[in-house]
Amino acid sequence: MEKKQGFFSALKEEVVRGLSPARSRAKSPARSGSPMSGLLRRRKQHTSHPPEPLIARSGSLRPPGETLTPLMEGPDTDGRAGGGDSKREGWGHWMIGQLSRAPSVSSSAYKNSDLRLLLGVMGAPLAPVHVCTSDPLPHLSIKDTPIETSSAQYILQQYTAASGGQKLQSSIRNAYAMGKLKMVASEFETATKVVKNRNSSRATESGGFVLWQMNPDMWYVEIAVGGSKVHAGCNGRLVWRHTPWLGAHAAKGPVRPLRRALQGLDPRTTASMFADARCIGEKRVDGEDCFILKLCADPQTLKARSEGPAEIIRHVLFGYFSQRTGLLIHMEDSHLTRIQSNGGDAVYWETTFNTFLDDYRPVEGIMIAHSGRSVVTLFRFGEMAMSHTKTRMEEAWTIEEVAFNVPGLSMDCFIPPADIRGGSVSETCELPQSERGKALAAAAHRAKVAALEKSHDSNHGSIGWKM
């Protein structure tokens, strides 16, 4: 029998031995580790232990008795172990290099403002509201219930059944997904001109991501694109993110799910997200008749996410569920931020996500969207009528691997990094530099004043000055 080498089979062995995202936590801001870094230390040798139980995953089912060729660190110079075919130098090897490579802050990739904006806005955005997946979906009720609410409950019941059923989804303790993606800034518009990216193929940044999830409400994601790497995670109580340009920081506001998980990878969290939504009508999307569910973030959540001169005014999420299949095939996500600094005119930033989900396939009975694309618009207006700008960005992704109930995954895998700085940072940290600087400067000033006042109160009138 022809011997095959699978990157994800090697990944499974490492996970069973205790590999987890927690092992990638270093105290340096420029962490070079990743959940895949352990694979690089494997040497060219056959394993002596018996084959381990098969983990069900999409696209890579193998008979339990089939032997696997060990992972190679370099090219096969002698032409043995698999015949040197192109399968060995496949996407899995490239992905290992992407996630294990230590990025340099001085590299040209980080000087590219387009890539920084792409990763800042599209890398690891969060959902509008807090979600608790342990809470059951509301029972379908018609009596004394508005028609918009009861219709939404019925649509969610159909979605849950179409995506695998509540009983099967409740049996999933953790999940893992890996995919590859492409990002590009396709258009920039001002009041007087529109600049389109003519060399979109050259400007496209390619990369991949790894996502781990675990109940209750824990997740961790690594994204490597164009030489830059972004980490983000949640331990159920704190959401944090690490970027080369900001380091590690906590996110303001309540704990919220990762939006990337809602894009066809986590039906249970998606249904819980729309539990309080309303059905506002129907629309045809890509040839499919869809029901539209609308979800708005409450004022308390918006206030908690705001900081100083940066105020989140609204955040609305629309879900389009196919009437034919019951599955989620389109999401529209829009939030508006107002920045008012130094008594000047207010500047508004509106960020709009349009996401299309495709290629639903079952993985152990759970329907997973294996491909999709997003179009993101960052619109700035205010001050004067002729000063608006609009930036259009696009992302396309495919899912290469999905696995459920991965052995060896524990709560220790989602511990935040030790170098998270004190306090938290609002979403304006990812806006272009000019506006972000104003918001962060004002926030830093208020933090210093609060620290001095606290020190004054504790010392009964004597201020403690610290360098």
> Each residue of 442-457: pLDDT tens digit?
444 444 434 444 444 4
pLDDT value for 219: 96
Contact, 166 vs 291, CB < 8 A? no
Contact, 352 vs 358, CB < 8 A? no
- In a domain? residue 230: yes
pLDDT value for 144: 72
What are the tens digits of pLDDT across the range 335-385? 999 988 777 788 999 999 999 999 999 999 999 999 999 999 999 988 666
Contact, 25 vs 224, CB < 8 A? no
CA distance 124 to 111: 20
pLDDT value for 115: 84
Question: For residue 268, what is the DSSP state?
Answer: H
| Least confident residue range of 62-71, 152-161, 300-309 | 62-71
| Least confident residue range of 133-137, 313-317, 421-425 | 421-425
- In a domain? residue 5: no
Q: pLDDT-derived band of residue 428, with 50, 70 and 90 as boundaries?
A: low
Q: Which DSSP string do the residues of 172-233 spell out, in sequence order?
A: --EEEEEEEEEEEEEEEEESS-EEE-TTHHHHPEEEEEEEEEETTTEEEEEEEETTEEEEEE
- In a domain? residue 216: yes
pLDDT value for 301: 93
**What would you report as the CA-atom Rg of the chain, rounded to the nearest whole angstrom?**
24
- Give the residue from 249, 296, 265 showing the smallest Cα distance to 127: 296
Whether omega for the bond prior to residue 216 falls within 30 degrees of 0, making it cis, is yes
Q: Residue 13: pLDDT above 70?
A: no
- In a domain? residue 40: no
pLDDT value for 198: 67
User: Cα 297 to chain center, whole Å?
Assistant: 19
pLDDT value for 382: 82
- In a domain? residue 397: yes
Interior CA angle at 17 toward 16 and 21, to 5°? 80
- In a domain? residue 203: yes
- In a domain? residue 10: no
**Residues of the chain above pLDDT 70, percent:** 63
CA distance 314 to 75: 53
What are the tens digits of pLDDT across the range 163-172? 999 999 999 9
Q: Residue 33: pLDDT above 50?
A: no
- In a domain? residue 94: no
pLDDT value for 245: 84
Q: Which domain holds residue 161?
A: 114-443
What is the rounded average pLDDT of the residues 167-196? Answer: 89
Give the three-state DSSP class for 454: helix
Q: pLDDT-derived band of residue 99, with 50, 70 and 90 as boundaries?
A: low
CA distance 179 to 248: 24
Number of domains making up the chain: 1
Q: Residue 438: pLDDT above 90?
A: no
Q: Residue 309: pLDDT above 60?
A: yes
Residue 146 makes CB contacts below 8 A (sequence gap 6+) with 278
pLDDT value for 93: 53
CA distance 454 to 89: 59
